[in-house]
Amino acid sequence: MAEKITKRDINYSEWYNDLVIQSGLAENSAVRGCMVIKPHGWAIWENMKSILDKKFKDTGHVNASFPLLIPKSFLEQEEGHAEGFAKECAVVTHYRLKTHPDKKGKLIVDPESRLEEELIIRPTSETIIWNCYRGWIQSYRDLPILINQWANVMRWEMRTRLFLRTAEFHWQEGHTAHATQEEAVEETLKMLDVYADFMENYMAVPVIKGVKTANERFAGALDTYCVEAMMQDGKALQAGTSHFLGQNFAKAFDVKFLNKEGKLEYAWATSWGVSTRMMGALIMAHSDDDGLVIPPRLAPLHVVIVPIFKNAEQLAAITEKADAIIKELKALNIIVKFDDSDTAKPGWKFAEYELKGVPVRVAMGMRDVENNTVEIARRDTKEKTTVANENLGAYIQDLLEKIQQNMYDKALAFRTANTFVIDTWDAFTAQIEKGGFIYAHWDGTSETEDKIKELTKATIRCIPMDGVEEAGTCVYSGKPSNKRVLFARAY
C-alpha cells in the first residue's frame, strides 16, 4: 500500500524500490541479483514487447532463437568484446549433480561431469550469432539478414537494483548483417528511431538521440547510438542502444560473402537492444508518491469501475448501469475491470488502483445511478469530474488519449525546466549537484571526460544528433570545441 512507500523528496532511491515492490511489479529472488517479475510487471513488459515486436516486423525483421550458452572461446574471438564482458560472466563448468556420499538428501557437483570447455551464460549474443552467420552467408544474395531475438541474458553485476541493473534481465537483441557499410549505418539509425518513437509515443518519455563517446561505447562497436531520458530526480537513464559494429564480428568469425563484383568481402554488422530496464525508466519518469502512473498505451488495465454500495440491492442497480458502460468500453478496445468484491471498502480500492497506476477510475454510487452519471478520476492529475453516462465510451477514449499526451507533455516540461546550457566550470559543478541535463562544450578527449566524471560523477550521456556546430571552449579544459555535448549523472 502507498503508506509503505517512502516519499520521493525524502529518499528518491527508496521511493523507487518501495514502489516497485508495493505495486507488485517485481521483487528480489533467492538468487543474488536475479529478480522475480510479478504478473503486474510482466503484463506491462508484455505490452512493451508486443508493440516493439510489431515495429521490428514492420521494418522487415524476423525473430529467431540462439543458444543461452556460449563457449568461452567464442568470447575470446573479439578482443574489445571480451574485455567488456569477461568480468561479469556466469560460468557453467559441470553438467551433473550427484548425491552426497555422506549427507543424506544433499547434492554435490559430480566432479566427473566437468565440461571440456566452460560455457558462459550469454551476456549478449554477438559471438554465437556471428558464428552461425558464417554458415548462412555466402553471397550478397544472402544479405541483408535482419534478425531479432527476445531473450534473457546475464551479467554478473555487483550492485543490482530492480529493473535498472539486474544480473539476469530480459531484452531483445537485433543482429543484422549487411553487404555495405552504408546499409549497416542506415539500419543502426533506423532502429534508434524505432526506439525513440516507442519511448516518446508509448512510454510518454521524451528522449535525446545521440552518439556515445569512445569511453561509453559498446564493447566491440565502432559507434554506439543511444536514447537518453531524464528521470524525476534529474538523472539520466540510457533507455536503448543501437550499435554499428563495422566488420569486427565478421572478421572475428570469418563471415565473408561474394559481393556483386564477385569479390570476397567481410559482412557489415549492427546490433541493437532494449531491456526490462525500460520498466525502470517508465516508473521513474512518471510515478508519484501514491504509486505508479502508467501511460494508457502500455497499461494492462485502462479503466477500473468501483461500485459504492451498502447492500445487494444497490449493487444490482449499479451493476446494471455498469454493464452497459463495460460493453461500450470493450467495443472500443478499452480494457476495463468491474471490481465489485466485498472484501475491501471503496477507499481501499481507490488507493490500490492508484498504487497500480490504472489511468482512469470510475466510481458509481446510488446518486450516480439516479442521475445517470459517474465520477471519473484521472490517475495522472488526480482530477475528479462527474460525467453523464451518455457517450461515456467516447469520453473515456478521448480522456485516455489526453492522459497519454499530458504525461508526455509533463515529462518534457520537466526535462526542459531541468536542462541547462552552461559555459563555466563553476556553474557546471554547482548545477550537477542539483541534478539535470547540462549542455556544455567538451574538448573531445577521453582524459577530460574521465576527469569530469571523477570530479563530478557526471558522464557524457551522448553527443546529441540534433546538436548544432558552434564555436566554444571546453567547460573543463578551456580547449576549443565545436559542439556541445550532453552531461548528466546517470543510472
Range 365-373 contact pairs with CB under 8 angstroms and sequence separation of 24 or more: 365/307, 365/308, 365/309, 365/318, 366/308, 366/309, 366/314, 366/317, 366/318, 368/318, 368/321, 369/317, 369/318, 369/321, 372/321
Calculate the CA 211 to chain-centre distance.
Answer: 18
Q: Is 301 in the site for a second copy (CB under 8 A)?
A: no
Q: Is 154 in the site for a second copy (CB under 8 A)?
A: yes
Q: Is 93 in the site for a second copy (CB under 8 A)?
A: yes
Q: Which among 71-79, 243-251, 322-330, 397-405 is the span making contact with a second copy, rule CB under 8 A?
A: 71-79
Q: Is 315 in the site for a second copy (CB under 8 A)?
A: no
Q: Which among 82-90, 289-297, 424-432, 444-452 is the span making contact with a second copy, rule CB under 8 A?
A: 82-90
Q: Is 34 in the site for a second copy (CB under 8 A)?
A: yes
Evaluate whether 329 touches 336 at the Cβ level (below 8 Å).
Answer: yes
Evaluate whether 325 touches 290 at the Cβ level (below 8 Å).
Answer: no
Q: How far is the CB of 280 from a second copy (least distance, A)?
A: 15
Q: How far is the CB of 191 from a second copy (least distance, A)?
A: 18
Measured distance CA(78)–CA(75) in Å, rounded: 7
Q: How far is the CB of 398 from a second copy (least distance, A)?
A: 28
Measured distance CA(204)–CA(209) in Å, rounded: 15
> What b/e readout covers 12-30, taking b as 16+ CB neighbours within 10 angstroms?
beebbbbbbbbbebbebee
Measured distance CA(387)–CA(368) in Å, rounded: 9
Q: Is 386 in the site for a second copy (CB under 8 A)?
A: no
SS (H, E, C) 153-185: EECCCCCCECCCECCEEEEEEEEEEECCHHHHH
Question: Locate cell 520521493: which residue?
Answer: 8
Query: Between 52 and 226, whose beta carbon lies closer to a second copy?
Result: 52
φ, ψ (nearest 5 deg) of residue 369: -60, -45
From candidates 2, 43, 317, 490, binder to a second copy by CB under 8 A: 43
Q: Is 313 in the site for a second copy (CB under 8 A)?
A: no
Partners of 304 in beta bridges? 337, 361
From candidates 126, 168, 173, 354, binder to a second copy by CB under 8 A: 168
Q: Is 340 in the site for a second copy (CB under 8 A)?
A: no
Q: How far is the CB of 175 from a second copy (least distance, A)?
A: 12
Q: Is 97 in the site for a second copy (CB under 8 A)?
A: yes
Measured distance CA(20)–CA(405) in Å, rounded: 24
Q: Is 388 in the site for a second copy (CB under 8 A)?
A: no
Q: Is 1 in the site for a second copy (CB under 8 A)?
A: no
Which grid coordinates belong to 299?
497499461
From candidates 1, 7, 14, 62, binder to a second copy by CB under 8 A: 62
Measured distance CA(238)–CA(218) in Å, rounded: 13
Q: How far is the CB of 474 from a second copy (least distance, A)?
A: 34
Query: Between 259 and 473, whose beta carbon lies closer to a second copy?
Result: 259
Q: How far is the CB of 467 from a second copy (least distance, A)?
A: 38
Query: Between 213 and 271, whose beta carbon lies closer to a second copy?
Result: 271
From candidates 7, 13, 14, 95, binder to a second copy by CB under 8 A: 95
Query: Between 37 and 285, whose beta carbon lies closer to a second copy?
Result: 37
CA distances (Å), origin 10, targets 13, 15, 289, 329: 9, 8, 10, 40
Question: Locate cell 445511478: which residue?
Answer: 369
Site residues (CB under 8 A) for a second copy?
27, 29-31, 34-39, 41-43, 46, 62-72, 74-76, 79, 82, 86-99, 105-107, 109, 113, 118-121, 128, 131-132, 135, 141, 147, 151-152, 154, 156, 168, 170, 343
